[in-house]
Structure 1
């Protein structure tokens, strides 16, 4: 019997359906894959020990992607069309966790993502560091697919 080992969290790619640029799948960090319920409290008459908490709707955190700045990027162009021209074209994207052979272990399918915020790290002549761009997206929901 083989023991199970959880997968490593550093081998993944982010696939934007519209981008053919091989560098657009590479990100240093991905965060914001979380879901929670908004809860509504209901106070029952005569019951003073607790209040009922009922789930109302799901809430998804914003997706935050960080990477070394690219000088040519279809994802960057998509972001800036939204900010410069107010041309919001929602897209679906996949975050694919890979095994040691480069095969998909789990895929998070993010639906209807739109640009929310773009930021570049500080430029500082006294430091020797990479320029990091941060891309923040809002989305409707995600689904999870194994292999």
Structure 2
């Protein structure tokens, strides 16, 4: 049995996890492809367990609210002369005195041609933690900075 394919068929290729871009919306807009890892794109539903009188075979699981893990971005340590570093520093060091400046963040997974394959939007994100990897004189490794951000809502936009 042969499969008939026409010239209009679109070739499908699976997504690769290593070709992505992170964009921080706002003024100025910051687009960064230098992150080595993105994690925390997670949505979890809190539930309330309710026991029904006389029913011993199960409990009711009632949905309450969505919760999101922190968005975690990792990259090699960069100099503090860019807009992303300034935004992180301003929020972590001065956020309580001058006010936090949340940003929408888009994580774009790119195809082999560098075009968007899929996108996720983290709404109203702000820095919650900055971490530096261990400095070890016995290892030949890059210094990695980790940025953790809280956000309100995760949505897949493409």
Normalising by structure 2, we get a TM-score of: 0.85
CA contact (8 A) 1:21 1:73 kept: no
Q: 2:41 aligns with which of 12, 19, 33?
A: 33
Runs of 4+ in 1 over 2 A off after TM superposition: 1-6, 18-22
What is the root-mean-square deviation of aligned Cα atoms in Å? 1.7
Q: Which runs of 5+ in 1 are unaligned?
A: none
Cα offset for 1:97?
0.3
CA distance in 2, matches of 1:77, 1:3: 42
Which residue number in structure 2 is paired with residue 135 of structure 1? 147
Any idea what the Cα deviations from partners look like across 1:95-120, whole Å, max 9, x if unmatched?
A: 00000000001110110001100011
Aligned equivalents of 1:27, 1:51: Cα separation in 2:
44
- The whole-number CA distance in structure 2 between the counterparts of 1:21 and 1:49 is 53
Residue by residue over 1:22-44, the C-alpha shift from the partner in whole angstroms, topping out at 9 and shown as x without a partner, is 6x342000000010100101111
* SS, match of residue 80 in structure 1: helix
Q: Residues 23 and 30 of structure 2 are in contact (CA less than 8 Å); yes or no, is this contact kept in structure 1?
A: no
Listed as ranges, the gaps of 5+ residues in structure 2 are none
More divergent stretch after superposition (94-103 vs 74-83): 74-83
TM-score w.r.t. length of structure 1? 0.91
- CA separation in 1, counterparts of 2:143 and 2:28? 22
CA contact (8 A) 1:16 1:25 kept: no
CA distance in 2, matches of 1:103, 1:41: 44
Q: How many residues align?
A: 145
Of structures 1 and 2, the larger Rg is shown by: 2
Tell me, in whole angstroms, the C-alpha distance in 2 between the residues paired with 1:25 and 1:16: 11
